[in-house]
Chains A and B, each alone.
Chain A
Amino acid sequence: MATFSVTRPRKSRVLTAVMALYLIYTLVPLVWLVINATKTQPTLFTTSGLAFGGPFALFDNIGETFTYDNGIFLRWLGNTLLYVVAGAGGATVLATAAGYGLAKYRFPGRRAVFAVVLGAVAVPGTALAVPTFLMFSELGLTNTPLAIIIPSLISPFGLYLIWVYAADAIPDELLEAARIDGAGEIRIFLTVTLRQLAPGIVTVALFTVVSTWNNYFLPLIMLSEPKWYPLTVGLNQWSAQASGAGAQPVYHLVLTGSLLTIVPLVIAFLLMQRYWQSGLSAGSVKQ
């Protein structure tokens, strides 16, 4: 019989195999994407999907992606950035302020707000898309960037996260000390609270950035003019033009565009993850 300890845990072959399979399952689509983004439109259909083949056309494809259809891809990239900065940025600010307020101030109706927020977490955004559309149509805001930015400002999950985080990470004593020193509530929020909440804010920012970046259904419903499309809807339009009479397939550009679309997200994760990790174990005051 083999002996095992905490420092040398027993290796489970089954578990290793399962995890290896899972790893492959997760990585294959990414590998497929990278490989196929290097192919030209004709070789895409004549070579195997998981092997390089034909001329290496990645850089040509990138160039063509940015110039195809009068450079609309760049416009979509700009739109996506706008929606992310205004929508996800705004959502993070709102969630931070509201979450902190709900965690640290006592006022009537707090429990009701709690119930509403929890309920809102449970409703998927897609279910609200059509009612939201009808509302925005009344306001005359459909087919404008505001139709994407305003609904993106609401992040019940982010609010909940900050709320829970603030309840633990910010001791009441700290706020009391600040008040005794004569700081106003706004000043406390800006100088004391924000720093304490930084890891939570980064987490919420990551979530909202990812969900706004990947948002598909809302812009699909709200926008009808390609000039306001984000990347997700625009790329789908490129993909859809491959079927029907007189089709113009540009699958190679769809793939290259998809690859380019995930790059900023990967960078955002790499940059923010150290704040995120350190935040999970951070405390503020030794008790």
Chain B
Amino acid sequence: MSRIHRRVKAAVAVAVALAAALAVGCSSGTDGPAAGSQDSVDAALKAGGTITYWSWTPSAKDQVAAFEKEFPNVKVNYVNAGTNKEQYTKLQNAIKAGSGAPDVAQIEYYALPQFALTESLANLDQYGFGAFEKDYAPSTWSSVRVNNGLYGLPQDSGPMALFYNKEVFDAHGIAVPKTWDEYVAAAKKLHTADPGKYLTSDTGDPGFATSMIWQAGGKPFAADGRNVKVDLADPGTKKWTATWNQLVEGKLLAPIKEWSDDWFRALGDGTIASLVTGAWMPGNFKSSVPGGAGKWAVAPMPTYDGQPVTAENGGSTQSVLKQSGNPALAAAFVRWLNHGNGVKPFIASGGFPATTADLNSPAFLDQADPYFGGQKINQVLNDASKNVAKGWSYLPYQTYANSVFSDTVGKAYLGGTSLDAGLNAWQQAIVDYGNQQGFTVSAG
């Protein structure tokens, strides 16, 4: 009796759930550009509910607290599920398993195509978020647009600049290099004058290499649906290797692994005299390189011909997962996070925003930074965000490609040999893996 009763109950529950799913499917439409209004998002926000949010941003906790204060009927279950690759592995597993993914996840721009192209993310065009385009720098906006879908709102950006140790530069009579030729010359000059010092360090970081190829005008990766083109010997890539090979083959790069305690120490004591990296770096200087206070300064990234051009390095977005049980509410949270009051706590934590209004606000631009000797560094970094080269795209499986970078290109760094051979090996690995995964990959 009770068993039958329970079965009937279950059947009714299933029927109700199906009906509800159908109703939702009909009313909101899924990917159609015709839908596209923010009404459903506003309604979800009013109705309230619970969502889960995966992020490793240090400001996430404050942001979630501020959001819950503003919308007391929404509960955000914040989880730090690991930093970048770790979190992606977990996301990938949850997607494969069909359950266990959060409603909203932080995803870096380089990894976004991978999740977008496997249809794991909700297209935010359905909520009309495409209207926000004018509020972001073009380069960051293009980072969240994949195959004409909108898969997140940009949280931060990482336009590149040259961070240099003024004290070391002055002591050795080195002028701030404007071109890469000057940069290479400075590297030789410094290392010859003091063999214990290096102009910069690079032990083979895929994020850095792709950003440098990006700046040089290279477009090694192109994806159109399941068709992928890889050409790591295109003119832009060659332009970069022609410069960087001089540093690699000349052993002019500090053999110190990035982000290690040795590396932070070397940045503080002058062993490494400059870094070409993203605009998010100042926060790391302040928290991890106490010895460098007052010595470091920021200048535009060197270029090949003296004309200002940069690339993006790093940067994340927040995306709504398709698995989400309440995508409209999740989208509302994303909107608040990166297009609303959530931006302020992010900037306060030392983040470099993506919204042009915040980037161009006088309060942001005129801030004199005591760590950098009172320099208004945001002016340099904001200029950089306007000069990002256009037309870059990452692979639809960039996280895998990055994971085999050290096995291939890393050998060139280790042996002090030409990067071109290493990039060739990397390309081979990328082509092989892509074909195994069901892409049609052609090498250029």
Contact = CB atoms under 8 A, between A and B. Distances in A.
A96 to B, nearest CB: 33
A130 B90 CA distance: 10
A221 interface: yes
Interface string B283-327: 110011111000000000000000000000010100000000000
Interface stretch (B15-23, B54-62, B161-169): B54-62
A224 B79 contact: yes
A48 to B, nearest CB: 9
Interface string A213-247: 00000001100111000000000110011111111
Contacts, number: 107
A277 interface: no
A226 B264 contact: no
B434 to A, nearest CB: 20
B290 A247 contact: no
A247 B56 CA distance: 10
A224 B81 contact: yes
A44 interface: yes
Contacts of B89: 220-221
B83 interface: yes
Given A44-B261, A226-B79, A237-B83, A247 B288 contact: yes
A221 B58 contact: no
A241 B83 contact: yes
Nearest to B348: A246
B100 A244 contact: no
B352 A143 contact: no
Interface residues of A, number: 31
B103 interface: no
B280 A244 contact: yes
Contacts of A244: 56-57, 83-84, 280, 284, 314
Given A224-B81, A243-B83, A45 B288 contact: yes
A45 B261 contact: yes
A67 interface: no
A245 B97 contact: no
Contacts of B435: none
Interface string B343-358: 0001001111000000
A245 B287 contact: no
A246 B97 contact: no
B86 interface: yes
A145 interface: no
A220 B85 CA distance: 11
B93 A237 contact: no
B287 A247 contact: yes
A240 B86 contact: yes
Given A45-B264, A137-B100, A246 B349 contact: yes
B269 interface: yes
B265 interface: yes
Given A137-B97, A240-B56, A246-B351, A45 B265 contact: yes
Nearest to B79: A225
A128 to B, nearest CB: 14
A121 B96 CA distance: 28
A241 B56 contact: yes
B39 interface: no
Interface string B77-110: 0011111101001100110111110000000000
A46 interface: yes
B316 to A, nearest CB: 8
Interface centre among A44, A241, A245, A251 (most CB of B within 10 A): A245
Contacts of A45: 261, 264-265, 268, 288-291
Contact of A241 (B58, B262, B350): B58
Contacts of A221: 89-90, 93
A133 interface: yes
Interface residues of B, number: 44
Contacts of B98: 137
A41 to B, nearest CB: 8
Given A45-B289, A244-B56, A247-B288, A224 B262 contact: no
Contacts of B96: 134
Nearest to A233: B82
A46 B270 CA distance: 11
Contacts of A171: none
A191 to B, nearest CB: 46
A211 interface: no
A185 interface: no
A224 B289 contact: no
A42 interface: yes
B100 A246 contact: no
B156 interface: yes
Contact of B284 (A49, A226, A243): A243
Nearest to B349: A246
A243 B284 CA distance: 7
Interface centre among A220, A243, A246 (most CB of B within 10 A): A246
Given A241-B56, A249-B288, A133 B83 contact: no
Interface in A96-134: 130, 133-134
Contacts of B262: 49
A49 B269 CA distance: 14
Contacts of B90: 221, 224
B287 A46 contact: no
Contacts of B316: 245
Contact of A226 (B80, B265, B349): B80
Interface in B1-56: 54, 56
Nearest to A130: B93
Nearest to B278: A245
A44 B288 CA distance: 10
A245 B57 contact: yes
B284 A220 contact: no
User: 5 tightest CB-CB pairs across the interface, nearest first?
Assistant: A137-B97, A240-B83, A246-B349, A245-B280, A246-B350
Interface of B: 54, 56-59, 79-84, 86, 89-90, 93-94, 96-100, 156, 259, 261-262, 264-265, 268-269, 280, 283-284, 287-291, 314, 316, 346, 349-352
15 contacts: A45-B265, A46-B269, A49-B261, A49-B262, A134-B96, A142-B97, A143-B100, A220-B82, A221-B89, A237-B80, A240-B83, A241-B58, A243-B83, A244-B84, A248-B287
Given A46-B291, A249-B264, 13 more contacts: A44-B261, A46-B265, A46-B268, A130-B93, A140-B99, A220-B86, A221-B93, A224-B79, A224-B90, A225-B81, A237-B83, A243-B284, A246-B350
